[in-house]
Amino acid sequence: MKRIKVAPAVLREAYNIFDGVYAPVSGFLKRSDLESVLFNMRLSEGGIWPIPIVLNISEREYRDLGDAEQISLTDERGKTRVVLDDVEVYEYDREIYVRQVFGTDSNDHPGVAAARQGGKYFLGGEVKWADPNRKNPARYFTPSQTRDLFRKKGWRTVVAFQTRNIPHRSHEFLQKQALKIADAVFIQPVIGKKKKGDFKDELILKGYESLLEKYYPQGRYYLASLPLQMRYAGPKEAVMHALIRRNFGCSHMIIGRDHAGVNGFYGPLEAQNIFDEFSSEELGIEILKFGEVKHCSACGGLNFASTCPHNGEDHISLSGTGIREMISRGQKLPEELVRPEISELLLNHPDPFV
């Protein structure tokens, strides 16, 4: 069996495939599936999937692998961690890939810049085996484990909430709105490689751990992590995230404004509107399209902007850039927007950003 050495991020993608996180994807995509996903948001057999899960290889590897049928993926020390079967090596135009996934070819988009580093050679194949003794991140559970957990708790309806940020009061507001219609909320921050300026993984998890027991109804939440590389692909990534939460056993998912967007590349409602292209029956999960949340001094609390009768002068808001600037200056964050426990956690950390 031929072997190639891959980065930890590639192994993580393979583990996610093997664990069923990316179902119906069962391997790194071959050319026919890649093209179908790029142009139809579906695998060639018809299942919905919006963003290719691919394995880039070098030109040398492309030529060396030849007609190999099985390939082992090794870690940086040369230990086999994953075995691929029914392998195909192929070439594909990276610029077509970039434009179809991200809707832009601008290198100012972090996903575009990262994708272009991969080059034009790909390795496709079914993930047939993955190291059962691999080390998983803190609070990671497989989809089968969370589905079993939800059943044991008697939760029939579970709302997924994704985040790559520290907990804001607006996030808490949305999660508690979801608890009005569901048995529980499944809070699953994305951990792994992110863009510069995002919050570090350990702070996001610690932030939620510090809040859940104090501010949330007991027995109606679960905190887990999702090891996943953000693409910042906006609406298409929103669909991918929803399918992933379906696989974990969630019945609903919150999709807010500009989900998985970056730097104004996508309209604020694109990530919600894309779900109009699919039925909830086919998706296998209901989408909760929640609007923007504002703290209104006149109302005396948090409200959806669409239901608040007051104007912008009464609204208190703080952008991610504003949070970073305040923390860098050693300033506490406004309690109307961020719980004091989170402000203290960030201020006491020597370097809270990626």
Reported as a single tens digit per residue, the pLDDT across 284-297 is 999 999 998 999 99
| Residues marked as catalytic | 164-165
Chain-wide mean pLDDT for the chain? 95
At 320 the pLDDT is 66
> Which residues, at least 6 apart from 214, have a Cβ–Cβ distance to it below 8 Å?
341
Span 171-192, pLDDT tens digits: 999 999 999 999 999 999 999 8
Distance of alpha carbon 260 from alpha carbon 266, whole angstroms: 9
| H-run or E-run covering 40 | helix 31-40
- Taking the model in full, what pTM does it have? 0.96
The pLDDT, as a whole number, for residue 242 is 98
CATH number attached to the domain at 2-130: 3.10.400.10
Parallel, antiparallel or unpaired: strands 286-289 and 184-191: unpaired
In three-state secondary structure terms, 228 is coil
- Helix (H) or strand (E) holding 146, with range, is helix 143-153
Residues 6+ apart with CB under 8 A from 193: 9, 229, 230
Q: Fold match between 2-130 and 143-347?
A: no
H or E stretch including 294? strand 293-296
Q: CA–CA distance from 308 to each of 25, 171, 297, 316 (Å)? A: 43, 17, 11, 13
| Bridging pattern class, strands 121-130 and 27-28 | antiparallel
Going from N- to C-terminal start, the domains of the chain cover: 2-130, 143-347
Rounded average pLDDT over 215-241: 96
CA 333, distance to chain mean position in Å, is 26
From the options 3.30.930.10, 3.40.50.620, 3.40.47.10, 3.20.20.80, give the CATH code of 143-347: 3.40.50.620
